[in-house]
Amino acid sequence: MPIATLILAAGQGTRMKSDLPKVLHRLAGAPLLQHVMQTGAAIGARRSVLVVGHGAQAVADTARDIDPEITIVEQAEQKGTGHAVEQSRAALAEFEGDVIVLYGDTPLIRPETLSAMQEARSRHDIVVLGFEAANPGRYGRVIVDGTGALEAIVEAKDATPEELQVRLCNSGVICAPAALLFELVAEIGNDNASGEYYLTDIIALARARGLSSGVVICDEAETMGINSRAELAAAEAAFQARARAELLESGVTMTAPETVFLAHDTVIGRDVVIGPNVFFGPEVTVETGAEIRAFCHLEGCHISQGAIIGPFARLRPGAEIGNDAHVGNFVEIKNAILGEGAKANHLSYIGDADVGDAANIGAGTITCNYDGVMKHRTKIGKRAFVGSNTALVAPVSVGDEAVTGSGSVITRDVPDGALALERSQQVTREGLARKHMARLRAIKAKKLKTEN
Ligand code: UD1
Ligand code: MG
């Protein structure tokens, strides 16, 4: 059965106390909305429709950046979840398949859970995602009859005291055939405690027609919706816990998993070893057998097999670390390729550079890539040896097997195999240091004497 996702994201999110629309706040480095869209993509949704309202322009722009094919519909006034679904009627008029309604502020639902709902559709006309709430509070209650069939979803505000005792709650996710969904939504009224059009009313409407609704139950952690910064932080913690557990399960070693922070798209191969306090920003891939030592900050980079990174390394977007390369402490790499077996072990900035295989970058080497207006590239050849504290003023190249003397400021290309030295001659005077110090001490002693 073809699937369309319908993501509701028109609500305001007042409790975030933010100028940024709620669904654009980030979880594991990506907007909440992106998590929901990716879940839809993961179950192979053919169509994706997004209902926007508050912050419509910004939300729509972000959604189109993530998926240019997404259909955006606007709900100018927020009159409830049923009304929000109604806005997508025209967008989904031609769609023959199931629609899964998702919320833009509920980012942790797993694709497997949605697949289970799809599967349950073979037994029911409508499938609702429910959960046993530790504290049901203001969630809608899922009311089941003696045979286990769904009777209705009752909003907390409208529930009787007996209904409020029910712990099975509605997550908001609903799966129904498009035609049926819109037929039922047309019948929803707003005669209830909130004066809103409740999407949840379709369950009772379906039952009145003799149709069956079922419930798939997931873990409460998946249905966590975000309404405040505290909930955003709690969702981040839940995401991290899940992502770390998945990595451990997949064969990654983490000395202190609770101190490793992952992004929504982090990819780490088998037998990678990650030390404590490592942060992964978006778009990081690490190949099999690499080692990330303690206190590294990584984003937008690729680390190849057997490479050793850190401790205390910073890899920024465009850093491409070759097989068995070493990046040591206080080394920053940006938009640069470090060849196979190349080493930059201490205190360096390597930006906009190509470093050849097995090259050695001495401590304190800086690529001076920015002239105040433009960025320029530095090329360092294979097996080149860049002496400590070399400044490479780009654009400039150091050839294969070339050497630069320590402390040099290299402004002109160094050919293959050449040695470039740019520093003044050393002057050495025998015995002068001792003589000089003795003189200074004598001056100090004289000064103390006259003061007393
Ligand atoms: C809804 C459900 C409730 C469920 C709860 C789970 C209804 C009537 N109630 O209640 O059963 O337990 O979610 O969190 O569906 N939205 C719009 N336009 C609107 C109203 C809402 O786009 O006019 C969007 C919101 O941005 C949000 C989602 O729909 O993403 C849910 O809306 P919200 O107001 O949070 O619904 P609840 O009252 O929490
Ligand atoms: Mg809500």
Can you give the residue ranges of every domain in the chain?
A: 3-223, 229-420
98: nearest Cα among 211, 4, 199, 215? 4
197 C-beta neighbours (distance < 10 Å), count: 19
Per residue in 354-374, pLDDT (tens digit) is 999 999 999 999 999 999 999
What do you get for the CA distance between the two ends of the chain, in Å? 99
What is the per-residue pLDDT for 148? 82
What is the per-residue pLDDT for 146? 87
> Where does ligand 1 bind, in terms of residues with CB under 6 Å?
8-11, 51, 53, 75, 78-81, 83-84, 103-105, 139-140, 153, 155, 169-172, 198-200, 225
Q: Which atom of ligand 1 is nearest to the CA of 9?
A: 26
CATH number corresponding to 229-420: 2.160.10.10
Buried b (16+ CB within 10 A) or exposed e, 120-131: bbeebbbbbbbb
Cis amide bond preceding 311, omega within 30: yes
Query: For residue 149, how far is its CA from the centre of ligand 1 (angstroms)?
Result: 23
Which residue lies with its CA nearest to atom 17 of ligand 1?
10
Q: Considering every ligand atom, which ligand is closest to the CA of 21?
A: 1
Query: For residue 85, how far is its CA from the centre of ligand 2 (angstroms)?
Result: 15
Torsion of CA 99, 102, 104, 109, to 10 degrees: -130
Query: For residue 81, how far is its CA from the centre of ligand 1 (angstroms)?
Result: 5
How far is residue 237 from each of residues 171, 232, 250, 286, measured CA to CA in Å?
Answer: 20, 9, 20, 23
Q: Which atom of ligand 1 is nearest to the CA of 79?
A: 23
How far is residue 353 from each of residues 67, 319, 336, 350, 398, measured CA to CA in Å?
Answer: 32, 9, 5, 6, 11
Q: Which atom of ligand 1 is nearest to the CA of 52?
A: 22
Q: Are 374 and 390 in contact (CB under 8 A)?
A: no
Residues of the chain scoring pLDDT < 50: none
DSSP-derived 3-state class of residue 97 = coil
Helix, strand, coil percent content, the chain, rounded in steps of 5: 25, 30, 45
CATH number corresponding to 3-223: 3.90.550.10
Q: Are 70 and 51 in contact (CB under 8 A)?
A: no
Q: Considering every ligand atom, which ligand is closest to the CA of 192?
A: 1
d(CA 176, CA 100): 7
What is the per-residue pLDDT for 321? 99
